Amino acid sequence: MRTTTRATMSRTMRPTAALTAGLAALLLAGCTGAGGADGGSGFAGALPAKSPKPTPPPTGPYVALGDSYTAGLKIAPQVGEPTGCARSGVNYPSLVAKGLGLAADKFQDVSCSGARTGDLTGAQETDHGTNPPQLDALTPATRLVTVGIGGNDAGFMEVVKECAKENLVDAVKGMVGASRAASPCREHYASGGTDQVQRKVDAAGEQLGRILQDIKHRSPQARVYVIGYPTLLPSDPEACRPVLGKTVAGGDLGFLSEKEQQLNGMLKKRAEGAGAVFVDAASPSAGHDMCAGEATRWVEPPFPAPGLAAIHPNAKGQEAVAAAVLKAVRG
């Protein structure tokens, strides 16, 4: 039970009564020998505890770094240069900047579709122009940085495509009489005796660790947030049957979910190790994966709605991540 403070008592008692109660408390402390950090005067126990003031959200400058999940691939309107980066004007960085009330000159989005961690420190060539090194946007004046990177280093899209291919090949084998493996994609990536995907995730983590140190060096006063990836698949593989049919084995859907969890786990570990904040996008997007209905999903399936990118967040997904980031930034 919470102790009633003098501040609370003053609202319910007359001044004389409050003063009497305060003196009685001091006398009681003296009689019982109770003391505090002030040498036994009793004042430490009588004064109300001060709760720490919440840190106000930064007012910019804000720099957004990342890959296509940050940029908002194919989500209208597409803005910025180079056009090959496919940035959306309603991606989560833009929505975060709007939510914080930042002026245009206090916000810079340099995310780029296809980016790897190496493209944060080196120029990235796209089909339509060159994106300068993303970290070049940082300055000592920068006060907020979001980083959404690592999926391409881990080759996650390639893993998804390879799983689709392995399952197709295995299905054809099954049609000609050979027994079908329970998880052909998992077997493919473990064929050398090593989890090849985990090895890539670990290597991406090493790169990210160095990137976060570089960010701290360039913008020592900035608050840094590492953004995780949203949930792509449901916990129950059978829920994907209406969308994916039987072309992907249930075991491989579980394998893909496991790999995404490993990727997000690495991002969280690296963020905490560097003194940054990890923003979980997977938990709030549970139930809004690519196998959910069109009105519910935040991530598009392999055959997306017209004009959108397969296995990437849609506009609702960007809004959800923005809400998670704003909640973290505002504390």
- Which pLDDT belongs to residue 52? 58
- Which pLDDT belongs to residue 264? 97
Q: Does one domain contain both 30 and 163?
A: no
Looking at the structure of the chain, the number of domains it has is 2
For tokens 């690495």, the residue is: 266
Six token digits for residue 215: 């960010």
Q: Which residues, at least 6 apart from 232, have a Cβ–Cβ distance to it below 8 Å? A: 256, 257, 260, 289, 290, 299, 311
- Which pLDDT belongs to residue 178? 46
Q: What is this structure's pTM?
A: 0.80
- State the CB neighbour count (10 A cutoff) for residue 155: 18
> Does a structural domain hold residue 53?
no
Q: Is 68 a catalytic residue?
A: yes
Q: Does one domain contain both 153 and 260?
A: yes
113: containing domain = 62-330
- Annotated catalytic residue within 51, 68, 111, 283: 68
Q: Which residues, at least 6 apart from 162, have a Cβ–Cβ distance to it below 8 Å? A: 185, 188, 189
- Which pLDDT belongs to residue 167? 61
Six token digits for residue 51: 């709760």
Q: Looking at the DSSP assignment, which residues form a beta bridge with residue 66?
A: 148
Q: Does one domain contain both 109 and 220?
A: yes
DSSP per residue, 287-309: T-STTS-TTT-SB--SSPSTTS-
Query: Which is nearest to 292 in space by CA: 231, 247, 251?
Result: 231
pLDDT tens over the chain, length 331 residues = 444 444 443 443 344 343 333 333 333 333 334 333 333 433 344 555 555 566 788 889 999 999 999 999 999 999 999 999 999 999 999 999 999 999 999 999 999 999 999 999 999 999 999 999 999 999 999 999 999 999 999 887 777 777 776 665 544 445 444 444 568 788 888 887 888 889 999 999 999 999 999 999 999 999 999 999 999 999 887 888 888 777 677 788 888 889 999 999 999 999 999 999 999 999 999 999 999 989 999 999 988 999 999 999 999 999 999 999 999 999 8
Q: Does one domain contain both 125 and 227?
A: yes
- Which pLDDT belongs to residue 87? 98
- Which pLDDT belongs to residue 12? 39
> Does a structural domain hold residue 98?
yes
> Does a structural domain hold residue 160?
yes
> Does a structural domain hold residue 51?
no
Q: Is 173 exposed, middle or buried (0-12, 13-18, 19+ CB in 10 A)?
A: middle
Q: Does one domain contain both 72 and 211?
A: yes
> Does a structural domain hold residue 128?
yes
Can you say whether the dihedral through the CA atoms of 321, 322, 323, 324 is positive or negative?
A: positive
> Does a structural domain hold residue 163?
yes
Six token digits for residue 171: 């299905």
> Does a structural domain hold residue 134?
yes
Q: Does one domain contain both 162 and 189?
A: yes
Q: Is 94 a catalytic residue?
A: no
Helix (H) or strand (E) holding 244: helix 241-244
Q: Does one domain contain both 303 and 157?
A: yes
C-alpha triplet 168, 172, 175: angle, nearest 5°: 140
- Annotated catalytic residue within 94, 188, 219, 312: 312
- Which pLDDT belongs to residue 195? 86
Q: Does one domain contain both 194 and 145?
A: yes
Q: Does one domain contain both 41 and 144?
A: no
Q: Does one domain contain both 112 and 159?
A: yes
Q: Does one domain contain both 122 and 249?
A: yes
> Does a structural domain hold residue 57?
no
CA 217 to the chain's CA centroid? 22
Q: Does one domain contain both 34 and 109?
A: no
Determine the Cα–Cα distance for residues 215 and 147; give it in Å rounded to an integer: 10
* CATH number of 83's domain: 3.40.50.1110
Q: Which residues, at least 6 apart from 6, have a Cβ–Cβ distance to it below 8 Å? A: 18, 22, 46, 47, 48
- Which pLDDT belongs to residue 159? 79
